[in-house]
């Protein structure tokens, strides 16, 4: 701390009452990596449990196709 007349001059470490080690950037980087990994896992599990068994056709479209096939078989 330096005093010039009635002015008090502090350097940044004294004004903050401590040092700034820069750990926040590491916390943010680690958090970002964890979020990306979690999102990738969510996307992968969602894509594996999608309509692969139905060749990409959703259940309502498949049911409608089966119903129309039944109706066509019943007609002479």
Instruction: Tally the domains of the chain.
Output: 1
Angstrom distance (rounded) from CA 7 to CA 71:
94
Confidence class for position 5, pLDDT limits 50, 70, 90: confident
Reported as type and span, the H/E element at residue 12 is helix 12-16
> What pTM value is reported for the model?
0.46
Q: Which residue has the higher pLDDT, 36 or 14?
A: 36
Range of the domain at 60: 2-71
Q: How many helices (H) and strands (E) does the chain have?
A: 3, 2
- Does the residue 46 lie in any domain? yes
What average pLDDT score do residues 7-24 get? 78
- Does the residue 66 lie in any domain? yes
Question: Which of 20-29, 31-40, 66-75 has the least mean pLDDT?
Answer: 66-75
Which string of DSSP letters, residue by residue, matches 50-65? STTTTTT--HHHHHHH
Cβ atoms of 17 and 11 closer than 8 Å: no
- Does the residue 76 lie in any domain? no
């Amino acid at each position: 701390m330096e005093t010039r007349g009635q002015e008090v001059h502090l350097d940044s470490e004294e004004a903050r009452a401590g040092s700034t080690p820069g750990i926040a950037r590491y916390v943010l980087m680690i958090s970002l990596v964890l979020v990306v990994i979690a999102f990738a896992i969510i996307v992968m599990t969602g894509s594996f449990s999608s309509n692969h068994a139905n060749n990409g056709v959703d259940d309502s479209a498949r049911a409608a196709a089966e119903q129309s096939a039944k109706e066509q078989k019943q007609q002479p």
